[in-house]
């Protein structure tokens, strides 16, 4: 993958939060993959047609899993690196596989290549194949087949779907004279939820909203 005449490395960036904020660290792949798989699916219900009909009616149920599959290559023969293969793997594993003690689960991951954002999600599968062993049994090369599952934050999902129902999520454009407590009162019937809405929208302070801003008002738990 080339950018402005220069070779760019695929990069994985890890984050603590589901909206891909609070960056943990990043990893440049040793060798850019020559292929990767990006699979999406949609879910439908097929049990809505009466028995005995000649054809069935399928109803959309929602988006299914989004999977991204790629291989990582590691080498310690000196051709690409002299760092031990196990150390190279551990560096990547710590970033995308291991539990993050701050959130008590693995990190969220963005996969980037040059100016392209290829995928956002989390690691689902991790399969290591060692090869070319040294005389003492130490692997000199390894490949990892990794499968990532897509993840979209609630805020981004609401913006993309654009749904606006009383029992789902509200999306409102701020107008002149609007205040966050006032908007909460109109939507929820009570202005006390303004702090929750401010936090959901990553607002530093409630007076920072301006006309034209788009705010997401999530369903109340």
Question: Is-contact 23 109, C-beta < 8 A?
Answer: no
**Whether residue 44 is found in the same domain as residue 148:** yes
The per-residue pLDDT string of the chain (221 residues; one tens digit each, 9 = 90 and over) reads 444 557 799 999 999 999 898 999 999 999 999 999 999 988 787 665 556 666 677 776 667 889 999 999 999 999 999 999 999 999 999 999 999 999 999 999 999 998 889 999 999 999 999 999 999 999 999 999 999 999 987 666 655 555 444 456 788 888 888 999 999 988 888 889 899 888 888 887 777 788 888 888 888 76
* 159 and 80 housed in the same domain: no
In angstroms, the Cα distances linking 41 to 11, 102, 110, 153 are 25, 32, 20, 18
Q: What confidence score (pLDDT) does residue 1 get?
A: 46
Instruction: Report the residue count for the chain.
Output: 221
Same domain (yes/no): 37, 123: yes
Question: Is the same domain home to 10 and 40?
Answer: yes
114 contacts: CB under 8 Å, gap ≥ 6: 1, 2, 3, 8
pLDDT score for 31 = 95
Tokens of 118: 């290829």
Same domain, 138 and 56: yes
Residue 170: predicted pLDDT:
81
Q: E strand or H helix at 74, and its extent?
A: strand 59-75
Q: What pLDDT sits at residue 89? A: 97
Of the three residues 120, 152, 184, the one that is the final residue of a domain is 152
Domain count, the chain: 2
Please state, in angstroms and rounded to a whole number, the distance separating the CA atoms of residues 37 and 20.
22
Spell out the alpha helix ranges (H) of the chain: 85-96, 154-161, 180-188, 194-200
- Per-residue confidence (pLDDT) for residue 32, from 0 to 100: 96
Terminus-to-terminus CA distance in the chain, angstroms? 45
* Residue 132 and residue 146 in one domain: yes
**Could you list the residue range(s) of the whole structural domain that residue 10 is in?**
2-152
CB neighbours (10 Å) of residue 149? 14
Domain boundary among 126, 152, 178: 152
**163 with 205, same domain?**
yes
Decide which of 97, 123, 152 is a domain's last residue: 152
Q: What is the pLDDT of residue 165?
A: 46
Instruction: Determine the pLDDT at residue 115.
Output: 86
Q: 35 with 144, same domain?
A: yes
Largest separation between any pair of C-alpha atoms in the chain: 75
């Amino acid at each position: 993958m080339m950018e402005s005449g220069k070779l760019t490395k695929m990069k994985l960036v890890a984050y603590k939060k589901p909206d891909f904020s609070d960056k943990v660290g990043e990893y440049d792949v040793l060798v850019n993959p020559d292929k990767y798989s990006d699979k999406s699916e949609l879910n439908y219900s097929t049990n809505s047609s009466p028995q005995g009909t000649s054809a069935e009616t399928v109803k959309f149920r929602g988006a299914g899993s989004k999977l991204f599959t790629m291989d990582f290559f590691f080498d310690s023969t000196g051709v690409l690196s002299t760092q031990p293969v196990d150390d190279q793997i551990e560096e990547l594993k710590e970033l995308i596989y291991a539990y993050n003690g701050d959130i008590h689960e693995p990190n969220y991951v963005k996969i980037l290549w040059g100016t392209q954002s290829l995928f956002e999600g989390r690691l689902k599968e991790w399969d290591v194949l060692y090869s070319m062993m040294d005389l003492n049994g130490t692997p000199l090369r390894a490949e990892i087949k990794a499968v990532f599952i897509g993840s979209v934050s609630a805020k981004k999902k609401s913006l993309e779907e654009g749904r606006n129902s009383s029992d789902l999520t509200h999306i409102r454009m701020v107008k002149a004279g609007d205040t966050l407590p006032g908007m909460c009162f109109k939507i929820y019937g009570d202005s006390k939820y303004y702090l929750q809405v401010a936090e959901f929208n990553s607002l530093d302070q409630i007076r920072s909203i301006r006309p034209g801003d788009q705010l997401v008002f999530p369903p109340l738990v």
